[in-house]
Amino acid sequence: MSSGKIIVCGGGGFIGGHLIADLLRQGHRDIRSVDIKPTKEWYQISPKVENLQLDLQEKGACEQALKGAHTVYNLAADMGGMGFIENNRALCMLSVLINTHLCMAARDNGVQRYFYASSACVYAADKQTMAEVTALKESDAYPAMPEDGYGWEKLFSERMCRHFREDFGLQARVARYHNVYGPYGTYEGGREKAPAAVCRKVISAKLSGKHEIEIWGDGKQTRSFMYIDDCVKGTQDILASEILEPINLGSSELVTINGLVDLVEQIAGIKLKRNYNLSAPKGVKGRNSDNTLIHQYLGWEPSTKLRDGMEKTYRWIYDEMTKK
Ligand code: NAD
Ligand code: GDD
């Protein structure tokens, strides 16, 4: 094992918290976690880790964060589900400062491996206009027409990782995450994504006795959702690999949003009247992950069944909501 620290940027967030928990389970003790949020707001936190509150948009903060680092996971970004990214394009784009300053600090500190969390939002809009999708393969990101704001930032930052590797030898690896869900994810407040939002709405209906649900869009739009355990495994495997180009990390189990609501209703044992809000943020009409490449490289793809992952997610959100 290399000497030096593993740095998880965005360690107070959803994926970062799970990644650190997994690294600890594997026996790593040389971990530093960095997030802009006060530590009391972190989704998961461990006293076995060095926990720092820093704004990684600042160059000096990135230099401080990466002192003595051999491995860096950049999971820090100002982001959320469609409700957030459609209404906060400038804030999303400002995350370019995080990856830019982290790449510079990684180069200057001789970091051996650098991971960048990109997104399926880099894919061109004209490939996602139908609910009956052809799954997105890596080359579909070009010619570029990504999600406005958030997707452009991700595509630019992917490109920056590539050029830091080519010009400065930074061993950067990039995964394009497709919608990730699970316990300890955001389920309220405006940044939540569809799986957690649907759980929250179904639980609210169940607890209040008002048996109705508002669904954004017509419910016919399609997505695939990746369970957090698959995301954490894939992230580490891609970092350790020789996969030099950005690669999909997502489930290929396609579902309509109506299908997702059906599933959560079954888990909750309830049936709700559906109200479709056609003026709410909708994003693309259809999106799925083509996993040919990850299969070729790793002989593996995210495989947790949506039903199994949603059971666990629903239970966790239910417990959180009833605790309050
Ligand atoms: P998250 O919002 O839970 O975690 C991101 C963390 O980054 C937050 O805790 C936030 O406080 C922190 N952060 C934001 N600005 C910062 C700054 N200036 N300095 C330091 N920390 C800062 O989100 P997540 O779901 O854990 O996502 C992790 C990464 O994966 C992000 O880059 C995100 O864009 C990417 N991603 C996530 C998904 C998904 O479905 N969750 C999909 C595609 C890509
Ligand atoms: N968030 C949310 N909340 N979405 C809802 C809701 C709701 O209550 N009801 C229906 N939806 C619909 C949205 O309109 C959208 O069509 C679909 O569910 C999925 O929405 P999100 O989960 O918010 O986002 P996304 O899949 O379009 O994009 C997400 O995944 C990307 C990676 O695949 C975002 O989180 C991006 O930030 C991420 O990069």
Could you read off the pLDDT of 182-196 as tens digits, one per residue?
999 999 999 999 999
Distance 78 CA to ligand 1 centre (A): 6
Q: Is the pLDDT of residue 1 over 60?
A: no
Ligand 1 contact via 57 beta carbon (within 6 Å):
yes
**Secondary-structure percent of the chain, ordered helix, strand, coil, rounded to 5:** 45, 20, 40
CATH of span 5-180+226-249: 3.40.50.720
Q: What is the pLDDT of residue 2?
A: 60
Which tokens hold the place of 268?
């909750």
Q: Would you call 150 a catalytic residue per the annotation?
A: yes
- CA 192 from centre of chain: 11
Q: Which residues pair with 232 in a beta bridge?
A: none
Q: 212 C-alpha vs ligand 2 centroid, how far in Å? A: 20
Residues 86-99, mean pLDDT to the nearest whole number: 98
Q: Separation of 303 CA from ligand 1 center, angstroms?
A: 23
Q: How confident is the model over 218-264, as pLDDT tens digits? A: 999 999 999 999 999 999 999 999 999 999 999 999 999 999 999 99
Whether the pLDDT of residue 135 is over 80: the answer is yes
What topology does CATH give the domain 183-224+253-289+305-323? Answer: UDP-galactose 4-epimerase; domain 1 (3.90.25)
Give CA torsion, residues 83, 89, 91, 96, to 10 deg: 120
Mean pLDDT of the chain: 97
Residue 235 amino acid letter: T
Residue-wise pLDDT tens digits, 18-58: 999 999 999 999 999 999 999 999 999 999 999 999 999 99
Q: Is pLDDT at 289 greater than 80 in this prediction?
A: yes
Any idea where the domains of the chain sit in the sequence? Answer: 5-180+226-249, 183-224+253-289+305-323
Ligand in closest contact with the CA of 287: 2
Residues 81, 194 contacting (CB under 8 angstroms): yes
Ligand 1 nearest-atom number relative to CA 55 = 19
Q: How far is CA 305 from CA 238, 253, 312, in A?
A: 21, 8, 11
